[in-house]
């Protein structure tokens, strides 16, 4: 069973949130497991949100415009990147920038499938 981080955040006009996952404890891959497989989903309320995602130091999603669904992401429809391997203790981060003159809502879902530690 996958761990899920799902939320929405308002991004003010012409600003950048350096990590919408900040504060979510599951955004840090548990150091007690053997790693994880990560899937990233996101959508936006309107055009003008640009997002990227990192798993550890790897750029899992290059700076990209968000889908304009104005709802929480649906599985599997709104998958942006899947099957991303992660090592224990790596952090998932997701910077989001609003390039418009009004506040917009960013919706995201991160699924983390923990892998058993090898013996």
* 70: CATH: 2.60.120.680
Angle at 103 between CA 98 and CA 108, to 5 degrees: 65
Q: Is position 52 within any domain?
A: yes
Counting every residue written for the chain, the total comes to 119
Strand, helix or coil at 34? coil
Q: Is position 12 within any domain?
A: yes
Question: Domain of 32?
Answer: 3-114
Q: Is position 21 within any domain?
A: yes
Q: Is position 119 within any domain?
A: no
Q: Per-residue pLDDT tens, the chain, 119 aa: give them.
A: 689 999 999 999 999 999 999 999 999 999 999 999 999 999 999 999 999 999 999 999 999 999 999 999 999 999 999 999 999 999 999 999 999 999 999 999 999 999 988 77
Number of structural domains in the chain: 1
User: How many CA within 13 A on the CB side of residue 18?
Assistant: 0
Q: Is position 60 within any domain?
A: yes
Q: Is position 74 within any domain?
A: yes
Q: Is position 61 within any domain?
A: yes
Query: Within 10 Å of residue 30's Cβ, how many Cβ atoms?
Result: 16
Beta pairing partners, 66 = none
């Amino acid at each position: 069973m996958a761990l899920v981080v799902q939320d929405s955040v308002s991004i003010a006009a012409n600003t950048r949130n350096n990590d919408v996952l900040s504060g979510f404890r599951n955004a840090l891959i548990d150091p007690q497991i053997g790693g994880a497989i990560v899937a990233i989903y996101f959508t936006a309320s309107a055009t003008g949100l640009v997002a990227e995602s990192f798993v550890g130091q790897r750029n899992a999603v290059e700076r990209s415009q968000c889908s304009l669904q104005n709802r929480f992401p649906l599985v599997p429809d709104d998958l942006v990147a899947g099957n991303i391997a992660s090592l224990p203790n790596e952090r998932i981060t997701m910077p989001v920038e609003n390039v418009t003159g009004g506040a917009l809502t960013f919706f995201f879902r991160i699924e983390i499938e923990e892998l058993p530690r090898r013996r």
